[in-house]
Amino acid sequence: MTADDIRLARVRTFQPRRGRVSDRHEDALARLLPVYGVDETFEPEAAFGRSAPLVLEIGSGMGTATAEMAAADPDRDYLAVEVHPPGIANLLWLVAEGGLRNVRVFDGDALDLARTTLAPSSLSAVHVYFPDPWPKPRHHKRRIIAPEHVALLRSRLAPGGAFHCATDWAEYAARMLTVLSADPELVNTSEGFTPRPAHRPVTKFERRGVAAGREIFDLVFRRVE
């Protein structure tokens, strides 16, 4: 790890929140995390018991979108990264309830995982849906869609792999478009923003944003082949 990597690793792109964990979620964490959870020793074939394209889902929230996408996409494996205990627990419960064999969950920082564990060109897609917009200018350094973070995550994409972001924060959307467009190894699949792809479910969080009058922005880039 270089000095720049160490410096960047100290700036977290998320705010850890404990939140209230229900009895059902406490049970899921205790019973299911040992089954579906992974750590920094993650190896895709060992974790999933097969070799398949791998999707990195950064900030899976309460897990409903991740579970829905994985259920509709059984030929790919999903690695969901989240730090919010109720969200992790809820996704574990959804995975077990749905009998999903193609989802694993990592409790921690996706960027640390990318730096230390994920191999270059090992991902078929990176999903960053509704990340914290960190709206105050002094907090912009914490945004995950920043040039150095995009370069790291893009390096883990296989050629032709998709880098898909979504946000309901207009200023952040414009910045995302600028940052992704500036990466020399990413190409936009649209002229600017793109309509929501059918594979991305509409989440409860997204509906709340629409109800509040916020526009939803999707961006889909691909790594050049």
Which residues are known to be catalytic? 132
CA 5, 6, 12 angle in degrees (round to 5)?
95
Q: What 3-state DSSP class applies to 142?
A: helix
| Segments of the chain assigned E as strands | 37-38, 54-58, 77-82, 103-107, 123-129, 157-167, 186-188, 217-223
Tokens (6 digits) for 27:
């049970």
Instruction: Count other Cβ atoms within 10 Å, centred on residue 220.
Output: 20
Burial level of 39, CB count in 10 A (0-12/13-18/19+)? exposed
From the list 143, 144, 189, 182, the residue with the least C-alpha distance to 162 is: 189
